[in-house]
Amino acid sequence: MDLRTHLLDRNLKWNWEEIAMYCLKNPKVTEQIVHYCLDEEVHVQQNAGAVLGKLIDHDKHILDPHLEQIVLNLEKNPHDAVTRATLRVFQWAKIPEAVEGELFEFIINALKSSEEPIAIKAFGMTVARRICEKYPELAQELIPHIELLVEQKASAGLVNRGKKELKKLYALSNC
């Protein structure tokens, strides 16, 4: 399968699913999907990000060899679809210790930004809380940002996610 050609195809779930199934049968090509998340063609980036999400749905460990690179890709400002997919992946994937700090900082900045899409903030809350489970002292840094988003009521989904994550964070920080 010529991955790039398929990634240039339409932005449709069946296409992402087909590419994900190919990757599951040929795990070595997942590295190419990670690479395509930074492709110069925005459409390729969007579809590659969607495939990351499909892959994690099917196999929580298939991306393990590439997790550090996936986080480092965020520093290169990919399309929002890639950022959203990356944070969605880390709701379930093991967060490599080498990039925990970068990922946490990225999420804090996303939560503070008025420009970031709601889904990025929602997924980011969960990922940051997962990091706080390992480093409970970070909960005090995360809590005010989530409280503010809940207070602002930007969306029902964000408020719902925020309240759930705050409960867990309060328990971690003994508030």
What pLDDT does 47 receive? 94
Q: Tell me the average pLDDT across 132-157.
A: 94
Task: Give yes or no for residue 28 having a pLDDT over 80.
Answer: yes
Q: Name, in order, each residue with C-beta under 8 angstroms of 26's C-beta and a sequence gap of 6 or more.
A: none
C-beta separation of 80 from 120 below 8 A: yes
What pLDDT was estimated at residue 122?
97
Residue that the structure tokens 């994690």 belong to: 56
Q: What are the residue ranges spanned by the domains of the chain?
A: 1-94, 107-175
Percent pLDDT > 90 in the chain is 86
Q: How many CA atoms lie within 13 A of 66 on its CB side?
A: 22
Q: Is the pLDDT of residue 175 over 70?
A: no
CA 103 – CA 151 distance, rounded (Å) = 24
CB distance 39 to 69 below 8 Å: no
Q: What is the model's pTM?
A: 0.92
Contacts of 161 (CB under 8 A, 6+ apart): 122, 125, 126
Nearest partner of 142 among 90, 107, 175, judged by Cα: 107
Q: How confident is the model at residue 153 (pLDDT cuts 50, 70, 90)?
A: confident
